[in-house]
Structure 1
Amino acid sequence: MQTALIILLTVLLVAAVLTAVTLGRRLRRLKEGLTGQREHNRQLAERLTTVERRRSELEAVLSSMVEGVAAIDTEERLISLNRAAALMLSLDPKRAVGRSIQEVVRNASLQSLVTEALGSQANTPATRELSLRLNPGSSTDDRSIQAQAAPVRDAEGRQVGAVVVLHDVTRLRRLESVRRDFVANVSHEIKTPISAIKAAVETLIDDEQMPVPARQNFTGIIARQTERLDAIIEDLLSLTRLEQEGATVSDEIEAHAVEPVIRAACETCHAKAQAKSITLKIEAEPLRAQVVPTLLEQALVNLIDNAIKYSPEDTTVVISAERRNDDAVLAVTDEGRGIEPEHLPRVFERFYRTDRARSRQLGGTGLGLSIVKHIAETMGGKASVRSQLSKGSTFTLTFRAGTQNAAAKPSTGSAVAGVVHPAEPPTTESA
């Protein structure tokens, strides 16, 4: 009896031990599993953090790109776009994402480009040049956009969408247009005096018995047209020199008093002003500007000469200089007929004339204001214009102001027929 009890107890004890061992093993496996799960979770969290960091970096790169980038799925829905693309396409990303490209972008060329990319079996990008208007109410906001679209495939080669890259080529197209216009204008401007010279020479050759007065008339035509041709070539050379030497001019820029430069420019224009009884009036503060004096004088001579050409007789051209904050502002104001508002944005373009016939009649080459603009920009400044019809125009040069000499005194002067007397009061003065 006791033996059976002992055996039973032994069996129970062994069973308990085996159960404990089994349970311990299971607990260890569970612990190991939990540890592995925690490690797995940790690795997963690290991967998610890495993915999120890379996603943020990618978004930062896309946001800082000048090119526009847009992603589109196989249903032609917009799934993402960067800041540049949103600006080029005038879209609000929050409203545009998830919607059809045909719905959010009203441009047939872009729509067909996306359709072509999604249907393409090749990886070669399709290209279109788009004409987009940022502001529907203004033709000045037209933009030329070069768009490239290519299909996007997954690791197994299945097409999952398309990516569109947008390049704003507006400035490039405008430069190309300016270049074409420049070449055409140069050809025309040079051909005109050459044609006149050729006609006069042929007439002189054909009629050897021509009376002296008529012969003198034709030789006068040749002389005038030769001078005009020389002026055009000289102005073209000046523009070329300014463009080539722009980088080296910056080393010569220093603070200089502007009043002596203004006075020298007025003296240069003396004869032309005298011929029309035009008063050149100086109103200059004791001012210094960061300029190259010879270039500033050339710009002022061009502006004063232009003002004299387009001013009626017995009027006044005012040449002023004043300091505005950290800028030295020089202005040439005339009492001419003014410039139409639609011409103002283009007056500094090469060969641009508001009245071609009148400009040629007055002897203009069409390059003077362009030279002024180049000179101003070469010295780190800018040229601008404002005008009112029947009241005249004001051309302004703005440069960085230089350190002022405390001993300097204001300079004002008046001149009739271009003779400047800085010490005299700026009222009427007889020369």
Structure 2
Amino acid sequence: MFDRLVQRSSKHMARLELVIAVSLLGLTCVSPLLATGIPEGSRHLVTIGVLAVQTLLVLRLVRRLEQTTKGFRESLGKLVTQLRKSGIETTTATVSPEIATTDWGDKYKAVCDEINKILLEFTHLKQQCATAEVRSQRYSLINQRLNDLMNVVPDPILLVDGSGQIVSCNRAAQHQLKIRDSSSVDNTGDQDTSLFNELLEQVKKNRGANAVFDWRVNSSSGQTTYYRVLTREVSSDNGNRSDASGDRAIFLQDLTPLHELRKRHAEFVSAASHEMKAPLAAIRAYTEMLLDGDATDDETREQFLSTIETQSQRLQRLVENLLNIARIEAGIMKVHKQAISVNEILQEAGRLMTAAANEKGITLALELSPLYLPIHVDRDLMLQAVINLISNAVKYTPQNGNVTVRSQLQDSTIVVEVEDTGVGMSPADMERLFEKFYRVEAHKQMAPGTGLGLALTKHIVEDVHGGKISVQSKVNEGSVFTIALPRASAKTAPVRMPTEFAEV
């Protein structure tokens, strides 16, 4: 394409030379005429003719010059446009013989060669720029994905240089160590936070290529956090570790939940041992008295044996509750669910607890819904859960008090309530009420217990049957325990008429 433009320019130059030659020839012819003694009229006529011809030649010369200049301008313009485009091919200009024989040819070819050299360099540079841009976009995408991956990690991750400045960190580190976002920690030196400085001191104390140590953090609010800290030296590009750089990656693993679990396990073992110790001590004491012959008559011997039996039953209930809780938490509890009316379970529980209520002069009433309320549950486990609630209500209600058991339907949920007029409890006690072995300190002298009944009830209702248990209480006014269970579907509930329920 560039060759065609040069050839067109060469033709314009050849035409320019022809016009100049004709003009010079006309001037040569006119000059003798003006010098000879021809008649004045003829001389004027010839002069006018020559001038007219010369004028035409000059006009044509100007037009050719304009065309030639335009041709050069278009040629150079096309070349510049080619330079701005991508993927252009290298061209070689061919100078026409007409221009090559003049001074213009050498200069024109030199300009074209220089432009071609620039064109080659520009093309190579543009290819390098395109390759670099692709690599930059690829590295930027990889870097963004790595940042997203680090931010997903819930534990703090940091990269620290040899001077102790943060090069990079994830969001967990920003939040837990109270560090500003990574855009403000790059080489600014503004990292004067107590937690970060304390971490750096611990890292310096445990210097090593692959150091592992535990770090305990006490916050101003009194909360304690336990971390497992791992440090790794960052390798250079060739894979060698350089002590001169001192860059170090720091990984923090929050072990606080594990410490809490260990603490609760220790408390569980201690409480279980304590609860087992009392009945075992009573059984041993009365057994020794029987063996020593302290029971001299049948009545005393019967009393000792009755105490031993009572404590044995208490110990058996404790072991059974522990086993049931362990089975439920491990997911190996054998459950046999069936569709049954919730009122049947409540009525059975009421019958079993009537004697205990009567001993304290407590009125136990069942306010059951006249509707048939089917639930899909393990009958024995749900009966045990309801008995635990009624038993607690009877235990912590003073004499001549009231305990009321209700059932009702709320939308598609069946609700069971056990309300008492007992001693009640504080909000702080309600938060821990369903923990294993937890007992309200102010109520321990009112009735014996292991602190496992409500914990087991919560497991039965929520973990086994997918329900919900809650409590509302006021000190010296009483408590209301609420169980919410999904109503059994038509596929699981048998079709039968509601039965009459008597008040206990």
2:266 paired with 1:180:
yes
Aligned match of 1:27 in 98, 101, 115?
Answer: 115
- CA gap 1:412/1:209 in 2 versus in 1, 3 angstroms: closer
Residue 48 of structure 1 corresponds to 136
- Which structure's relative contact order is higher, taking Cα pairs within 8 Å and 6+ residues apart? 1
Distance in 2 (alpha carbons) for counterparts of 1:88 and 1:411: 60
- CA gap 1:48/1:391 in 2 versus in 1, 3 angstroms: same
- CA gap 1:144/1:202 in 2 versus in 1, 3 angstroms: same
2:243 paired with 1:154:
no
Aligned match of 2:347 in 248, 255, 263?
Answer: 263
- CA deviation digits over 1:258-310, x for unaligned, max 9? 22222222222222122223223334554455543432222111111111111
2:363 paired with 1:279:
yes
Deviation at 1:369, TM superposition (A): 0.9
Distance in 2 (alpha carbons) for counterparts of 1:412 and 1:127: 68
Q: Is the 8 A contact 1:284 1:412 kept in 2?
A: no
Q: Is the 8 A contact 1:126 1:150 kept in 2?
A: no
- CA deviation digits over 1:152-183, x for unaligned, max 9? 34325333532222222222222211211111
- CA gap 1:209/1:130 in 2 versus in 1, 3 angstroms: closer
Deviation at 1:124, TM superposition (A): 0.5
Q: Is the 8 A contact 1:76 1:101 kept in 2?
A: no
- CA gap 1:355/1:11 in 2 versus in 1, 3 angstroms: closer
Residue 281 of structure 2 corresponds to 195
Residue 380 of structure 1 corresponds to 466
2:171 paired with 1:83:
yes
Q: Is the 8 A contact 1:72 1:78 kept in 2?
A: yes
2:101 paired with 1:13:
yes
Residue 422 of structure 1 corresponds to none
Residue 70 of structure 1 corresponds to 158
The alignment-based identity, stated in percent, is 26
Residues 81-120 of structure 1 mapped to structure 2, 5 A cutoff:
81-93=169-181, 97-98=185-186, 103-106=192-195, 109-116=198-205, 120=207
Distance in 2 (alpha carbons) for counterparts of 1:369 and 1:207: 41
Q: Is the 8 A contact 1:131 1:142 kept in 2?
A: yes
Deviation at 1:34, TM superposition (A): 1.0
Residue 339 of structure 1 corresponds to 425
Q: Is the 8 A contact 2:397 2:422 kept in 1?
A: yes
> How large is the RMSD of aligned CA atoms in angstroms?
3.5
Distance in 2 (alpha carbons) for counterparts of 1:256 and 1:110: 60
In the alignment, residue 372 of structure 1 is paired with which amino acid? Answer: T
Deviation at 1:235, TM superposition (A): 1.6
In the alignment, residue 154 of structure 1 is paired with which amino acid? Answer: S
Q: Is the 8 A contact 2:158 2:166 kept in 1?
A: yes
Residue 124 of structure 2 corresponds to 36
Structure 1: gaps (5+ residues): 1-8, 420-431
In the alignment, residue 363 of structure 2 is paired with which amino acid? Answer: T
SS at match of 2:234: strand
SS at match of 1:178: helix
2:152 paired with 1:60:
no
Distance in 2 (alpha carbons) for counterparts of 1:246 and 1:331: 29
SS at match of 2:444: helix
- CA gap 1:31/1:100 in 2 versus in 1, 3 angstroms: closer
- CA gap 1:152/1:208 in 2 versus in 1, 3 angstroms: same
2:451 paired with 1:369:
no
Q: Is the 8 A contact 1:284 1:410 kept in 2?
A: no
- CA gap 1:353/1:205 in 2 versus in 1, 3 angstroms: same
**How many pairs are equivalent?**
397
Structure with the larger strand share: 1
- CA gap 1:230/1:94 in 2 versus in 1, 3 angstroms: same
TM-score when normalising by structure 1: 0.79
Q: Is the 8 A contact 1:113 1:149 kept in 2?
A: no
Residues 234-383 of structure 1 mapped to structure 2, 5 A cutoff:
234-245=320-331, 249=335, 257-285=341-369, 286=371, 287-289=373-375, 291-323=377-409, 327-355=413-441, 358=444, 362-376=447-461, 377-383=463-469
Aligned match of 1:126 in 212, 216, 220?
Answer: 212
Q: Is the 8 A contact 1:336 1:393 kept in 2?
A: yes
TM-score when normalising by structure 2: 0.68
- CA deviation digits over 1:303-354, x for unaligned, max 9? 1111111111222222234455664443322111112333222222222222
Whose radius of gyration is greater, 1 or 2? 2
SS at match of 1:163: strand
- CA gap 1:291/1:337 in 2 versus in 1, 3 angstroms: same
Residue 144 of structure 1 corresponds to 226
Distance in 1 (alpha carbons) for counterparts of 2:254 and 2:225: 7
Question: Could you tell which deviates more after superposition, 162-171 or 318-327?
Answer: 318-327
Structure 2: gaps (5+ residues): 1-96
- CA gap 1:396/1:128 in 2 versus in 1, 3 angstroms: same
- CA gap 1:325/1:161 in 2 versus in 1, 3 angstroms: farther
Distance in 2 (alpha carbons) for counterparts of 1:295 and 1:166: 44
In the alignment, residue 34 of structure 1 is paired with which amino acid? Answer: F
SS at match of 2:466: coil
